[in-house]
Structures are given as C-alpha cells and as structure tokens.
Amino acid sequence: MEYKDYYKTLGVERSASEDEIKRAYRKLAMKYHPDRNPGNKQAEEKFKDINEAYEVLSDPQKRGRYDQLGDSYAQWQQMGGQPGSFNWNDWFTGSPGGVRVDIGNLGDLFGSGKFSGGSFSDFFNAIFGGMAGGAAGTTTSDIPGMRTSRRSSRTPSIDQPIAITLEEAYRGTERTIVVEGRQLRVKIPAGAKTGTRVRMAGAGPVSSSGAKADIYLVVEVTPDPRFKREGDDLHSEVNIDLYTAILGGQVSIPTLSGNVLLTIPAGTQPGQKFRLAGKGMPKLQDPQTHGDLYVQARIQIPRNLTPQQRALFEQLARLK
C-alpha cells in the first residue's frame, strides 16, 4: 500500500488553513467533475482522489491523525526508507516506547458507514476504518503491500488513571510513572478530556504471551470551581454591580490564558451571556484551534442602601 499525499492532491501546503483547503477543493472539484468530463475515466479517478483528500483535510480530527502518519512517514524517508517498504503494521500498532493519543474507535468516531470501502481508497480505509487498533481476528492480507496479520487476541494492555487539572488540560502537561523500576516521562496533550487515553506502546511488563503490554494513561480532568467545561467550550459567571449593568462599563474576566477586559453594554440583564471567541479549550487534535468562553452575568443588587441612595431610587421609580 502506498502513502497518499492529500496535500499534494489538493495542491496546498501542510500549513494550509481551512479556507485555503476549501478553495483549492472547490476549484479542482469543478475542473474534474464527471458532469464536465463525460466518459473521461482519468478525470473521474482524479475527482475521487480530490474528494478523498478533502474528506480528510477538512476534518480537524482526521487531519490530525493523517498528519501523525505523515510525520512518521517523512522520518522514515529521511532515514533512507525505500518506496514500498514502509512498515504499515508498526505504525498501526505503535512502535515500542512510542506515545500516541487514542481517542477511541475511529470507525465509531467518524461514522462507520464511510469506511466500508465504497469510493475511498485502501489507504483511506486502513487509516480511518478502524484497523489501526489491531482488532482481534483482523486480517490485513487483502490490502496490497501489507504483511498478513491474523491475530487471535489483542495486545495486552494496562490502564493507569491519571488526574490533571483543567489548567494542565489547557496547556498540556507531563507525568512520570514508574514501570518495573524505570521512570517514564509522558506528555499529556493540550485539550485532553476526561476519558482521553494516552498510549505508551510496549512500555508495560512482559505478559504471559511473551509480548510487552501497552500502558494507557486514562485521563481524568478534575473540576475547576471557575469554569464548567462542555466539549471545547467553557462557561463561567461574572458578578456585575447594578450601576455597571444599567450604565455600562468594563469588568475583568478570568480566562485560562489570563484576565481580559469585557465591555458590558448599558442595560445588561441578569443571566445575559457574553461570548469570548477562542478563549475556551484547545482542540485535542488541533491545539491551535480553541473553543469559546461563555460568561453569564450575575447582577448584584445592593442590600443596604444609604438614605441618599434610597431617595434617588425612589425618585427614579416615580419617573418610570
């Protein structure tokens, strides 16, 4: 099986933005669309390649996984790897000692209906079709260029719970674990959620089958009293005095990247929400992209008025 360069297919750089990818796709799709090229098999195949490339690069999670493979493939080439000899099975199962983020069954994550073969290539189905986990009973002999791999059982694995704070999940962090007297330093990626699994392939003790077990760090993000997390978005509350709510003004809002000033419009109502774009959590597979922070206003009503304040409020009441 040959590596497919989706960036080259769309004619964009690896650093291309979402908009650049979309523009390139639309231009090529229009050029090679079968309706514009009736009976042209070459154009039809090109159109399929373009759609497959866009299916991956337009989805941050698929693109993140594809970029992981691209980095491994590029390193292999730099070390003198010959075309056609890249060990796909090693990448799918993980090189010993490697650490990779496992966010669950990819077939379930992306929709199993898309990975039944259909119009996508063997390369696409192998990377995104649920084969990467090396499931029990899986046979890869039907994929050109791959070694036959019929497994009667999964690679042995050990789950190790790891607790991190929300701030650590925001920035990314590290943990040291001890395995058979060895200290292993492991990076927890920015954007990790409760349930995120960080795989240390072959880092565990030798099992009864003679294979080294994989260790999975199972992340738990502890609650933060300031923020409620929903996916990649954060929610918080801010106390606003009555006068600022009525007249408008600015208040300081805590975020995980530091305090920011929020402009409060005149006439702000209790419970009104304000969106701070990009002040939420980084996305696990695309840490340069962040969710949003939603801040709900809590209007503080003064309890103990001075005689002068009470008189002024009574005067306002008579004017309504």
HEC profile for 232-262? CEEEEEEEEEHHHHHHCEEEEECCCCCCEEE
Determine the Cα–Cα distance for residues 11 and 6; give it in Å rounded to an integer: 8
| Domain 157-221, CATH | 2.60.260.20
Answer whether 204's CB lies under 8 Å from 158's CB.
Answer: yes
Query: How far is residue 122 from each of residues 47, 58, 149, 201, 292, measured CA to CA in Å?
Result: 16, 19, 16, 25, 37
Tokens of 295: 């801040």
Determine the Cα–Cα distance for residues 115 and 73; give it in Å rounded to an integer: 23
Question: Nearest CA to 69 among 58, 52, 80, 56?
Answer: 56
> Could you give the 3-state DSSP secondary structure of residue 23?
helix
pTM above threshold 0.75: no
Contacting residues for 295 by C-beta, under 8 A, at least 6 apart: 235, 236, 237, 238, 253, 262, 273, 274, 275, 276
Contacting residues for 230 by C-beta, under 8 A, at least 6 apart: none
Residue with tokens 């072959």: 202
Instruction: State the sign of the Cα–Cα–Cα–Cα dihedral 196, 200, 206, 208.
Output: positive
Tokens of 259: 């305090």
pLDDT tens, the chain, 320 aa long = 577 889 999 999 999 999 999 999 989 988 998 888 888 999 888 988 998 899 889 888 788 878 877 766 666 555 555 555 555 544 544 443 334 444 433 333 333 333 333 457 777 766 665 433 333 332 323 223 333 333 334 567 788 888 999 999 999 999 888 888 888 888 899 999 998 888 888 888 877 777 788 888 889 999 999 999 999 999 999 999 999 999 999 999 999 999 999 999 999 999 999 999 999 999 988 889 999 999 999 999 988 889 998 999 889 888 87
Q: Where are the domains of the chain?
A: 6-90+117-133, 157-221, 228-319
At residue 76, the pLDDT reads 59
For 6-90+117-133, the fitting CATH number among 3.40.710.10, 3.30.1650.10, 1.10.287.110, 3.40.50.880 is 1.10.287.110
> Over 121-179, what HEC string results?
CHHHHHHHCCHHHCCCCCCCCCCCCCCCCCCCCCCCEEEEEEEECHHHHHHCEEEEEEE
Answer whether 193's CB lies under 8 Å from 219's CB.
Answer: yes
> Could you give the 3-state DSSP secondary structure of residue 278?
coil
At residue 84, the pLDDT reads 52
Determine the Cα–Cα distance for residues 203 and 159; give it in Å rounded to an integer: 12
Q: What distance lies between CA 91 and its chain's CA centroid?
A: 20
For 228-319, the fitting CATH number among 3.40.50.970, 2.60.260.20, 3.40.50.2000, 3.40.50.1000 is 2.60.260.20
Answer whether 290's CB lies under 8 Å from 60's CB.
Answer: no
Tokens of 106: 């990819």
Q: Do the domains 157-221 and 228-319 sit in the same CATH topology, yes or no?
A: yes
Answer whether 164's CB lies under 8 Å from 221's CB.
Answer: yes
